[in-house]
Amino acid sequence: MKVDFPFEILFAIGILIFTLSLYVYGLIIKRLLPLIEKKGIWILPIIGSIFLVLSAVIHFYRILYFGKNLSIADPTDLFPLIKGMLGANLLEAVAILGSALLTLIGITIYYRWISR
């Protein structure tokens, strides 16, 4: 399996920019919450950004470990490697889903609070 590193670097830059934007969003919400006399939900986007960093780490582990080993594997070793790669894909997708759900919950709660 050949890994296309320029696209992987582009993916990393995109994830890092999105992580930074979620982090800044959490800090902005933290500063706005005292205006409506509420607190606590600013931590959800921050945790979501941590999940995004975790998904990027899993992604690059998958690319560097499984990508390298799949390119030099014997036919008898392919099934365990593919199974491990799919397991890493699942963990990466769950981390991205967790990030999205935490951020969505935080946004929804904040929107409901300011809509009243």
23-54 pLDDT, tens digit per residue, is 999 999 999 999 999 989 999 999 999 999 99
Mean per-residue pLDDT for 1-29?
A: 89
User: String of b and e for 25-37 (b: at least 16 CB within 10 Å)?
Assistant: bbeebbeebeeee
**How far apart, in whole angstroms, are the C-alpha atoms of residue 23 and residue 111?**
18
Phi, psi dihedral angles at 67 (to 5 degrees): -60, -45
How much is the pLDDT for 1?
63
How much is the pLDDT for 5?
80
- Residue owning tokens 């005292």: 34
What's the pLDDT band for 12 if we cut at 50, 70, 90? confident
